[in-house]
Amino acid sequence: MLLGEQYMETGRYQEAAALWERYADWYPEDEELNMQLAAAYEAAGHIERALAAIERCVHMAKDARLRYERARCLALLGRFDEAKQELEAAFSADESGELAMLAADEPAFHRLERM
């Protein structure tokens, strides 16, 4: 995993994604791994693939952070109605209120505020 992080730090997003794809094939429900894979895809400009990596986690419905990241990808893809629903679900599941603060500064969600 350290190699993937090193690839990300040096802007080698495609290589990071390729490495994490192999690991994700072995551990498809590993949340942290899929989040790393999603970050690499997003950095490489592959938002649909980033969304797919997040959605691999079947237990996602219980995890506020995954729902937040899914909402962010949906917003980046222009799927605003879905993004808004997913973001609301993330806020409901987030007991700390941290995600609402993150969302306030997230450019992907600025268009949701006007809806």
Portion of the chain with pLDDT greater than 70, in percent: 94
0.85 surpassed by pTM: no
Q: How far is residue 91's CA from residue 103's CA, in Å, rounded to a whole number? A: 10
Band (pLDDT 50/70/90 cuts) for residue 62 is confident
Residue 111 near residue 75, CB atoms below 8 Å: yes
Each residue's pLDDT tens digit, 16-49: 999 999 998 898 888 888 999 999 999 999 999 9
Per-residue pLDDT at 59 exceeds 70: no
Portion of the chain with pLDDT greater than 90, in percent: 73
Domains and CATH numbers, the chain: 1-62 (1.25.40.10), 71-115 (no CATH)
Q: How far is residue 91's CA from residue 84's CA, in Å, rounded to a whole number? A: 11
Residue 108 near residue 102, CB atoms below 8 Å: no
Each residue's pLDDT tens digit, 67-89: 999 999 999 999 999 999 999 99
Q: How far is residue 84's CA from residue 74's CA, in Å, rounded to a whole number? A: 9
